[in-house]
Amino acid sequence: MLVTITDVIWGIVLSLWVAIVVLYISKLISRRFGAYVSRKVIHILGGGVVAVLSPYVFNSPLVPILTSYLLMVYLIAIRVLRKEMSWFMDRENLGEVFFAFSFGTILLLMFLLDHSYWRNVSLIYVAILPLIFMSFGDGITGIIRNFVYKRRVKGFWGSLGMLIFCTIVGYYLLNIPGLIAGIIATIAEVLPYIDDNISVPFLSFLVLYLFIRVF
């Protein structure tokens, strides 16, 4: 069975947790540190926690995929209705929409490529590790940059923080391919003209898939 009662329960629990992070915790952070840091905290405590727990609590990726797309639709609806949550949303930046899209799509892509990947320890992290890079790596770099440069800028120290985190976690989970993917994720984060919530997960996923399944 691809979806179990346990999956549904965990889907509800983690959705409620994300709601608490977005509607309460991030608002408290925003009052103290501003909307940019608040958004990065959502990355870490929302997306990051879900990414880390998903392999342990879900029988398949289908519930995380579904909830990610539902969240994306909800965020788009809020923008269409002009009811942005100002403590983390920026009308000119669709980052949170791209984040939800990438989270669900990476899991879906891997499912389409291999229906059984969720039961394989090596393969599951081909999909999960890019989400960890996007959630924790990008979250860490943003927080570092905010406190070092006092403004939104892609500077050296933030990238260094992301590189250290992503390469260590990547190597721990998937050895050399994971380490290389961590480097690629860091490079992807500073690329111009494309949102890092798209570039980081998709480029690192491509690298990991090629290493694990092709080479």
Contact 89, 30 (CB under 8 A): no
Query: Dihedral (C-alpha) 122, 116, 58, 171: value to the nearest 10 degrees?
Result: 10
The pair phi, psi for residue 90, each rounded to 5°, is: -120, 125
- Here the tokens at position 192 are 């111009």
- 1, pLDDT greater than 70: no
Q: How confident is the model at residue 165 (pLDDT cuts 50, 70, 90)?
A: very high
Question: Mean pLDDT over residues 23-37, rounded?
Answer: 92
Rg over CA atoms, the chain:
17
Contact 27, 7 (CB under 8 A): no
For the four alpha carbons of 198, 45, 60 and 122, in that order, the dihedral sign comes to positive
Using DSSP, state whether 93 is helix, strand or coil: strand
pLDDT digits (tens, 9 = 90+) for 32-81: 999 889 999 999 999 999 999 999 999 999 999 999 999 999 999 999 98
CA distances from 122 to 40, 172, 174, 208 (A): 28, 12, 7, 11
- Whole-number pLDDT of residue 92: 79
- 152, pLDDT greater than 90: no
Q: What is the mean pLDDT of the chain?
A: 93
pLDDT digits (tens, 9 = 90+) for 176-200: 999 999 999 999 999 988 999 999 9
- Whole-number pLDDT of residue 215: 66
CA distances from 197 to 3, 93, 94, 133, 191 (A): 27, 11, 10, 10, 11
CA angle, 146 then 152 then 157, to 5°: 55
Strands (E), 8-62: none
**How many beta carbons lie within 10 A of that of residue 152, not counting itself?**
13
Q: How confident is the model at residue 161 (pLDDT cuts 50, 70, 90)?
A: very high
- List 90's β-bridge partners, or say none: 93
- Whole-number pLDDT of residue 140: 93
Q: How far, in Å, CA of 95 to CA of 196, rounded?
A: 8
- Whole-number pLDDT of residue 197: 95
